């Protein structure tokens, strides 16, 4: 099935550093979502994007819906230890917006 | 305001047994989705249900797997004659409106097949 290309696969950073991760698709999307999953828990929605070029913030998190509608990025500023987890991008294909398509996740480790 | 609830959180079955996973959506939500997640992987869509109806089961294996969302009670994902390859985390999500609405996830059921 269709899958998003999410990178990097994993990151190990120092507390206080900024983090950037991105997702690309082979087709045009009309929705981009960013979720965080803590160990042993379900994904929690961080940011939802619905329009090309849209830039949305949620505290130290900022995400953008790419102009081409085939990509999105998530930035985390001034990382803290509780940012540790797996970050997933997900989106809806403009041609079939019923299903959420998922990336494989970016695993983030923060060294205090 | 309870979120999506799933039980059990952990389930151990021997090969050939049946596994029943339950999902209670958020209050007022009538749309339920089931996903499977293998270790180190993303979520794979399995099935989308509304009350008493299966809307999209394109991600569900054709054999041994079934899902229902009755008028009363939780949604059930049923796996018959489990095999080792069924070991995974199974997540349920619910939404208020239809399939394009925001999905809220439960904590998952971790199935281990011995």
Residues A5-63 have pLDDT tens digits of 999 999 999 999 999 999 999 999 999 999 999 988 999 999 999 999 999 999 999 99
Distance (Å) from the alpha carbon of A105 to chain B's nearest alpha carbon: 6
CB contact under 8 Å between B107 and A40, yes or no, is: yes
Mean pLDDT for chain B overall: 93
**CA distance, residue A86 to nearest chain B CA (Å):** 10
A94 touching B, CB under 8 A? no
Q: Do A98 and B104 touch (CB under 8 A)?
A: no
Q: How confident is the model at residue A93 (pLDDT cuts 50, 70, 90)?
A: confident
Secondary structure class of A16 (helix, strand, coil): coil
Query: What's the pLDDT band for B101 if we cut at 50, 70, 90?
Result: confident
* Tens-place pLDDT, residues B23-45: 999 999 999 999 999 887 788 89
CA distance B95 to chain A (A): 12
* % of chain B residues with pLDDT over 90: 77
Rounded distance between C-alpha atoms, residue A100 and residue B58, angstroms: 13
B81 Cβ under 8 Å from any chain A Cβ: no
Q: Concatenate the DSSP letters of all residues of B3-65 into one string.
A: --EEE-SEEEE-TT--EEEEEEPPTT--EEEEEEE-TTS-EEEEEEEETTEEEE-TTS-SSSE
**pLDDT value of residue B1:** 52
Q: Which residue has the higher pLDDT, A90 or A3?
A: A90
pLDDT at B83: 97
Q: Is B56 exposed, middle or buried (0-12, 13-18, 19+ CB in 10 A)?
A: middle
Q: Above 60 in pLDDT, residue A95?
A: yes
B95–chain A Cβ distance below 8 A for any pair: no
Residues contacting B61, CB < 8 A, separation 6+: none
Of A33, A43, A98, the CB nearest to B56: A98
For B69-99, write each residue's pLDDT tens digit: 999 999 999 999 999 999 999 999 999 887 6
> Which residue, A102, A4, A16, A82, is CA-closest to B36?
A102
Segments in A23-70 forming alpha helices (H) = none
């Amino acid at each position: 099935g269709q899958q998003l290309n999410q990178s990097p696969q994993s990151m190990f950073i120092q507390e206080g550093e900024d983090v950037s991760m991105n997702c690309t698709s082979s087709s045009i999307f009309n929705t981009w979502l960013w979720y965080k999953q803590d160990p042993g828990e379900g994904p929690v929605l961080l940011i939802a994007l619905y329009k090309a070029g849209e830039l949305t913030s949620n505290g130290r998190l900022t995400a953008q819906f790419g102009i081409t509608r085939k990509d999105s990025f998530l930035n985390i500023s001034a990382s803290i230890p509780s940012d540790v987890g797996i970050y997933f991008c997900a989106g809806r294909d403009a041609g079939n917006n019923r299903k959420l398509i998922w990336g494989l996740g970016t695993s983030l480790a923060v060294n205090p | 305001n309870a979120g999506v609830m799933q039980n059990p959180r952990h389930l151990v079955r021997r090969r050939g047994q049946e596994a029943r996973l339950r999902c209670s959506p958020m209050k007022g939500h009538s749309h339920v989705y089931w996903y499977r997640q293998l270790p180190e992987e993303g979520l794979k869509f399995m099935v989308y249900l509304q009350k008493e109806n299966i809307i999209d089961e394109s991600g569900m294996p054709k054999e041994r797997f079934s899902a229902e969302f009755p008028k009363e009670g939780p949604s059930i994902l049923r796996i018959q004659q489990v095999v080792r390859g069924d070991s995974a985390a199974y997540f349920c999500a619910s939404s208020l409106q239809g399939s394009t609405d925001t999905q809220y996830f439960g904590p998952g059921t971790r199935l281990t097949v011995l």
